[in-house]
Amino acid sequence: MKVTGICGSPRSCSSSGMLVSRALEGAASRGAETAFFRLGSMDVKGCLACYACRNSGKCIQKDGMQDIYEALRSSSALVLGTPVYMYGPSSQTKAFVDRLFALIGQGFRSRLGKGMPLLTIYTQGAADPGLFTGSFDMLEKALDMLGLHPAGRIPAAGIGEPSDLEGRPELMDEAFRQGGSLVSGKRRNQAGKASSRSV
């Protein structure tokens, strides 16, 4: 099976990226193939609201999002990490989520044609891990409609800089553990061979 990870931080070295990578390592340790996309280094534009995708199921914007659509179609689980910006996801993450509008089919059924578990990872400067729960719930509700079913959430609170993770090994351990949990015995790649790709 394949597990795709997406990091919505604009930073080239980011705490959310480190945690997503660790979750992918957990999945790979159980035999999953992994792919990692860093939205900050990609060209993923915001939705144009042209509604062309309503009938075709395809977005007319030929940017980096096309690679992500392809990866989602061939994946069995998704890890999404984003920093909290102004009580919500980063603009890079929001653009990605809006572009998933193309995957909503008739009767609000997912055009992915399958459900898959979703692990979300949020990094935030504030120390209270429950402070942005409402915002996380809303984001995951939209993703649930697309067949990306919430299977785990890691709110990494009190993390202002990637170096803050050095003093929080329990967060890295939790990411590894929950990443591994995405790979059930049934979903596991029969070949048992791990491979990875990153953008």
Ligand X SMILES: Cc1cc2nc3c(=O)[nH]c(=O)nc-3n(C[C@H](O)[C@H](O)[C@H](O)COP(=O)(O)O)c2cc1C
Contacts with ligand X, residue ranges (CB under 6 A): 9, 11, 14-16, 83-87, 123-126, 159-160, 162
Dihedral, CA of residue 56, residue 60, residue 62 and residue 66, to nearest 10: -40
* Least CB distance to ligand X at residue 128 (A): 9
* Least CB distance to ligand X at residue 158 (A): 9
Which C-beta is closer to ligand X: that of 35 or that of 159? 159
Which C-beta is closer to ligand X: that of 9 or that of 21? 9
* Least CB distance to ligand X at residue 72 (A): 22
**Among 92, 68, 69, which residue's Cα sits nearest to residue 14?**
92
CA distance 21 to 9: 13
Which C-beta is closer to ligand X: that of 86 or that of 191? 86
Residues β-bridged to residue 3: 34, 77
Which C-beta is closer to ligand X: that of 49 or that of 127? 127
Contact, 178 vs 23, CB < 8 A? yes
- State the DSSP H helix or E strand holding residue 133, giving kind and residue range, or none if neither: helix 133-145
* Least CB distance to ligand X at residue 126 (A): 3
